[in-house]
């Protein structure tokens, strides 16, 4: 990192990779051999990478975004060439010298600057294209029809749950996953994707191990609560009603959150705590967790990408953004959309954290407002990872030895746990993750630079 804080660390670059294969491929290109015409200035890095064809791939990265452009045919975002270029730049300032951008890089960067300037100079409410329907009355009728369809679906689902309890939970094991899959399909037809997702969880609970009846009953209770909440949504307080709407699958447009008549943004210096990509078939979901330096509020930015739709935002853990966020409505807001950025991203400090008891209290408070929450993001400070003697379970212990938090079974068996133990070396560390009913899922540790787990 140079004195101006402009050069990233290797871990910050690798945190941008969409998957492990991209990390490995980018690492192979982090050498000067395949690169030519490399350069960097205060806001961008560029270069040409020799590929299998006659023409080298032209790669440029706007590090203020960050944003990426490469002439390769890869559908991954960022591609291995962008990762390799950033790793080369991060590793040795003698390999990527300061200079003026090449013409092809300068044209792309100039286009980005022009679009940003137009957006900044646009009058209030004009920063995003209007999504207002041509016929507001027709839109209102469509929304009413969808609410009615979801109500019919919720009523049908209540009958399905009643039949299950009347016949006994053992009947679910005999029926198998197919019956739940059919019910989920009917919820999709009712335009309630949130209900469909929870129904599929019921089908998975039957095959989840020896204690499946208890887990199935818990999921049924939560689904019943959501059904009843939607069927009586007009009697709920506005924040809780917004939570119920989002849980059944009714969403708010991001543009409306930023520029709509009820838009309310929160400006802060947001520290990037973690970035995670997950794949579900052809869909890639990127989750970016942030915390406000002034407000202390947690935020989750979600973006989705596919074959012809690259992920729009990539932020390495450890960066700080001076930006506006707009939260989606709810009783315990967490998901947010990124608005105007007031300064380029810069390296941030090790975040302050809390102890085990405070983390559990934070999850409990959030669960009180949103009973369908699986977990809540927290930063733990001065905790030590401890493996069990048989290796079947791990926990994070406070330095005083009074409290310990088991790790989420979903992360057991991953090499990241031993990576966390290596970072700790038996000493307390700062760890960010999700604290929930399954335990704690670690996502980032500080060494003192952030390391994605």
pLDDT score at 297: 96
The pTM (predicted TM-score) of the whole model is 0.76
pLDDT score at 453: 85
Least confident of 257-266, 301-310, 442-451: 301-310
Pick the closest to residue 169 from 197, 211, 200, 226 (CA basis).
Answer: 211
* Six-digit token string for 284: 């890639």
Distance CA 336, CA 283 (A): 20
DSSP 306: B
1: pLDDT strictly greater than 50:
no
pLDDT score at 2: 37
pLDDT score at 278: 82
367: pLDDT strictly greater than 70:
yes
Residue whose entry in the numeric block shows the structure tokens 């209030």: 124
For residue 118, how many other CB atoms are within 10 A of its CB? Answer: 11
Least confident of 195-199, 409-413, 445-449: 409-413
**Contact criterion met (CB below 8 Å) for 318 and 16:** no
For residue 42, how many other CB atoms are within 10 A of its CB? Answer: 10
Distance CA 72, CA 59 (A): 8
**∠ Cα 282 198 299 (to 5°):** 70
pLDDT score at 120: 55
Pick the closest to residue 10 from 104, 87, 68, 67 (CA basis).
Answer: 87
């Amino acid at each position: 990192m140079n004195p101006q804080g402009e050069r990233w660390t290797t871990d910050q670059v690798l945190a941008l990779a969409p998957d492990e294969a991209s990390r490995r491929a980018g690492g192979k290109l982090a050498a000067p051999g395949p690169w030519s015409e490399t350069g960097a200035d205060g806001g961008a890095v560029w270069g040409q990478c020799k590929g299998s064809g006659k023409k080298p791939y032209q790669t440029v990265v706007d590090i203020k975004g960050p944003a990426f452009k490469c002439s390769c045919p890869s559908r991954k975002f960022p591609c291995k060439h962008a990762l390799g270029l950033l790793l080369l730049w991060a590793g040795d300032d003698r390999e990527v010298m300061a200079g003026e951008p090449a013409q092809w890089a300068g044209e792309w960067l100039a286009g980005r600057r022009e679009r940003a300037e137009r957006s900044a100079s646009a009058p209030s409410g004009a920063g995003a294209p209007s999504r207002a329907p041509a016929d507001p009355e027709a839109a209102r009728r469509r929304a009413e029809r969808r609410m009615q369809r979801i109500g019919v679906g919720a009523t049908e689902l209540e009958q399905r749950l009643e039949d299950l309890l009347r016949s006994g939970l053992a009947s679910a094991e005999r029926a198998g996953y197919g019956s739940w899959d059919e019910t989920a399909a009917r919820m999709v037809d009712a335009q309630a994707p949130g209900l469909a997702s929870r129904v599929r969880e019921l089908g998975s609970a039957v095959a989840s191990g020896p204690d499946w009846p208890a887990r199935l009953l818990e999921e049924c209770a939560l689904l019943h609560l959501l059904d009843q909440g939607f069927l009586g949504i007009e009697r709920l307080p506005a924040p809780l009603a917004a939570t119920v709407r989002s849980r059944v699958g009714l969403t708010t447009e991001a543009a409306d959150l930023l520029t709509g008549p009820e838009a309310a943004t929160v400006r802060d210096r947001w520290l990037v705590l973690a970035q995670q990509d997950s794949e579900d078939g052809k869909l890639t979901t990127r989750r970016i967790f942030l915390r406000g330096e002034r407000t202390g509020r947690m935020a989750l930015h979600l973006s989705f990408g596919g074959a012809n739709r690259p992920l729009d935002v990539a932020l390495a853990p450890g960066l700080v953004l001076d930006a506006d966020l707009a939260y989606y409505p709810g009783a315990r807001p967490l998901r947010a959309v990124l608005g105007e950025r007031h300064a380029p991203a810069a390296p941030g400090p090790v975040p302050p954290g809390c102890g085990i008891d405070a983390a559990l209290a934070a999850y409990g408070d959030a669960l009180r407002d949103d009973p369908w929450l699986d977990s809540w993001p927290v930063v733990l400070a001065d905790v030590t990872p401890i493996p069990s003697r048989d290796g079947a379970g791990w926990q994070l212990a406070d330095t005083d030895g009074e409290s310990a938090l088991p790790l989420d079974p979903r992360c057991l068996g991953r090499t990241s746990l031993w990576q966390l133990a290596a970072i700790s070396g038996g000493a307390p560390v700062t760890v960010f993750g999700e604290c929930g009913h399954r335990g704690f899922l670690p996502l980032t540790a500080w060494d003192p630079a952030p390391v994605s787990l």
